[in-house]
Amino acid sequence: MLYREAGQFKSSYAEDGRIFPIRQDRIGFALLMLAFGVVVPLLANEYWLKAILTPVLIFSLAAIGLNILTGYAGQLSLGSAAFMAVGAFAAYNFILRVDGMPFLLALALAGLAAALVGVLFGLPSLRIKGFYLAVATLAAQFFIVWVLVKFPWFSNHSSSGVVTAQEVRILGYAFVSPEAKYVLTFAVVAVLALAAKNLVRSATGRAWMAVRDMDVAAQVIGFRLMRTKLLAFAVSSFYCGVAGALYAYTYIGTVEPEGFNLDLSFKILFMIIIGGVGSILGAFLGAAFIVLLPILLDNLVPALFGDALGAGFASNLQLIIFGGLIIFFLIVEPHGLARLWQIAKEKLRLWPFPH
Amino acid sequence: MARQSGDVIVDLRNISLRFGGVKALTDISFDVREHEIRSIIGPNGAGKSSMLNVINGVYHPQEGQIHFRGQLRRRMEPHHAAEQGIARTFQNIALFKGMTVLDNIMTGRALKMRCNFLQHAFYWGAAQREETAHRLKVEEIIEFLEIQSIRKTPVGRLPYGLQKRVELARALAAEPHILLLDEPMAGMNVEEKQDMCRFILDVNDHYGTTIVLIEHDMGVVMDISDRVVVLDYGRKIGDGLPDEVKNDPDVIRAYLGGAH
Ligand SMILES: Nc1ncnc2c1ncn2[C@@H]1O[C@H](COP(=O)(O)OP(=O)(O)OP(=O)(O)O)[C@@H](O)[C@H]1O
Ligand SMILES: [Mg+2]
């Protein structure tokens, strides 16, 4: 079957507004969802589910959050990990302190708590831009982690500062196995990714992009800068917050504030740079890439070169490749892997008749 | 040119605007009547763009008053102006570079859309209905300005003349009462200018939109304006019908002696 839109005429503006206007894409996407939602949890082994697929989904969610703020609304942030921390510790405390707190409600509240903190740290964006705003979010990164360490209440006075996520139960079913945790993560991420896609293709997304591209013109059209920017901070932090809670509850199980450090914030930033700034798909591609590359290198390097190059080589190589790729994408293709994918599809649409 | 002008809709009284030591506007008064095409002309740096920025709240004059439909406006912000039905285009195109033509024009509808972000996140239902309804209106404008074939093109890839047209489309999408146009024909060839003139006259004619126009091409200005204000070094040196202004000795001197 050729990848073609020939003969597929859009007969209404609603059809024209679809996420996947081409039928082959819709079928492909449905198959992809089926594969990752049903087939993968049935077939994949524990290592893949626990160490690769679940974290990729969680990081994708955080990357979507950062992409909303940075890619769509144009506000650079280096505090994503801190908002994840807010989500993780909020979920922990809601479940700990409220009897019978349903997990999904705790997840939503964790997101809301992060959103609230996000709005607070978004206030400087009304006055400062670009580099200076990045520095302000950097301050948020350190301040939030410091608060979580400083006040032991947040970690329920655990002596080490490390907290262990409680068992996840929804309607009496305990999500203990890697398969169950993966499926739960998948469901939450799928729903939120769809909501994000809807947001960015509607008036809210246009407002964000308008403010990003030309703020004076946006104001003249009638957008309120404050409202638009703060909404971006709120929604972005909500996504990071939920990602943080999932990180604690369906991925690593035990978390401490310092785990959500600047390194993690940068990792998420690299995900959107490599995956594609201003693209929901890009968040997934970037997250997958950054999780998979080290694993790939760990396996590939010894296979290709044996032990001759020493143990440190693979991890150094990894840093070199990351650095190179980030420079490449920043300079050559700011829209990242998502854009490369799009170009490939456009080529395919014409293939095999290139004109 | 037998258009019917109506009541005074914008009344500017003794406007003065300074940037530090630079006097951009000094004691300027003039008015704009409903349904007219009111042009502002003057040499480079005369303060024409500043005047538009004062009218829609981008700049706040240190002195003077602005009456809008007979009411005094105090410290109006740009979004207030938009809510009052004032739309504009910019001298240096101010399109949203990362968005398509269609999305750019859709932003012009922003103030008319009611759904909130939660409805947008859900999309199906109210948000989609609203989107489709406004898309219909936007398609009308796209057809009117003859830009159907570039709907889905990112605006950054368009040639200059088309970008100007898209910017006009975005302003028209708001269905404004007053349209402020800052040199909409600058840098265009004769044919493009003719098209733009036709669009401006059509908008004025069909929708009765009041138009404040800044333009350097005297032929165009004299042709399509109802009344003309002349600025020079931030002062008003002429005001009246095109023919009166054309023959005003002060105006002739400013144009012959000025940077033009
Ligand atoms: N934001 C600003 N800050 C400082 N000075 C400004 C600003 N805007 C305008 N000016 C100054 O005000 C004066 C009038 O500028 P304005 O842009 O209004 O002129 P203009 O008549 O539109 O000129 P042109 O024909 O070149 O567009 C100029 O001296 C300009 O330098
Ligand atoms: Mg100007």
Q: What is the pLDDT of residues A3-43, one digit of tens each?
A: 666 666 677 777 787 888 778 888 989 999 999 998 999 99
**What is the Å distance from ligand 1's center to B15 Cα?**
15
Q: Residue A131: enclosing H or E segment and its boundaries?
A: helix A130-150
Separation in Å, CA of B154 to nearest CA in chain A: 13
- For ligand 1, say whether the CB of B45 is within 6 Å of any of its atoms: yes
A11 at interface of B, judged by CB pairs closer than 8 A = no
A198 CB within 8 Å of a chain B CB:
yes
Q: Which of B15, B17, B19, B217 to mutate to test the pocket of ligand 1 (most atoms within 8 A of CB)?
A: B19
CA closest to B111 among chain A residues:
A222
Put simply, whether A72 touches B (Cβ < 8 Å) is no
CB-nearest to A13 from B90, B107, B136 is: B136
The region, left, alpha or beta by phi > 0 then psi within -120 to 50, assigned to residue A277 is beta
Of A202, A210, A231, the CB nearest to B127: A202
Whole-Å CA distances, B216 to A184, B59, B260 = 64, 22, 10
What's the mean pLDDT when you consider all of chain A? Answer: 91
Indicate which atom in ligand 1 lies nearest the CA of residue B59: 1
How high is the pLDDT of residue A5?
64
- Tell me whether residues A220 and B111 touch, CB distance under 8 A: no
Alpha-carbon gap, residue A25 to A22, rounded angstroms? 5
Hey, what domains does chain A have and what are their CATH numbers? Answer: 44-350 (1.10.3470)
Every domain range in chain B assigned CATH 3.40.50.300? 1-85+176-260
Alpha-carbon dihedral sign for residues B2, B3, B9, B15:
negative
Contacts of B2 (CB under 8 A, 6+ apart): none
Taking CA–CA distances from B124, the nearest residue in chain A reads A198
Q: What is the mean pLDDT of residues A205-222?
A: 96
Q: What does the pLDDT read at residue A354?
A: 58
A278 contacts in chain B (CB < 8 Å): 98
From chain A, the residues in CB contact with B106 under 8 A are 203, 206
Q: What percent of chain A has pLDDT over 90?
A: 70
Q: What is the pLDDT of residues A68-95, one digit of tens each?
A: 999 999 999 999 999 999 999 999 999 9
Q: Which ligand is nearest to the CA of B24?
A: 1
> Are the beta carbons of A202 and B136 separated by less than 8 Å?
no
C-beta of B24 in contact with ligand 1 (< 6 A) = yes
Helix axes A54-66, A262-275, angle to 10 degrees: 80
What is the Cα Rg of chain A in Å? 21
pLDDT 10s digit of each residue in chain B, 260 long? 445 678 999 999 999 999 999 999 999 999 999 999 999 999 999 999 999 999 999 999 999 999 999 999 888 899 999 999 999 999 999 999 999 999 999 999 999 999 999 999 999 999 999 999 999 999 999 999 999 999 999 999 999 999 999 999 999 999 999 999 999 999 899 999 999 999 999 999 999 999 999 999 999 999 999 999 999 999 999 999 999 999 999 888 887 664 44
The CATH H-level (homologous superfamily) assignment of domain B1-85+176-260 is P-loop containing nucleotide triphosphate hydrolases (3.40.50.300)
Tell me what pLDDT residue A234 has: 98
Helical axes A178-200 vs A54-66, angle rounded to 10°: 20
Structure ipTM: 0.93
Higher pLDDT, A56 or A345: A56
The token duo for A169 is 């139960």
Query: Are the beta carbons of B56 and B78 closer than 8 angstroms?
Result: yes
Q: Is the CB of B48 under 6 A from ligand 1?
A: yes
For chain B, report the end-to-end CA distance as a whole number of angstroms.
28
B43 lines ligand 1 (CB under 6 A): no
- H helices of chain B, in order, are 48-55, 78-83, 101-107, 117-122, 126-144, 160-173, 190-207, 218-224, 242-246, 249-257
> Who contacts A238 (Cβ-Cβ below 8 Å, separation ≥6)?
A65, A111, A112, A114, A115, A118
**Whole-structure pTM value:** 0.93
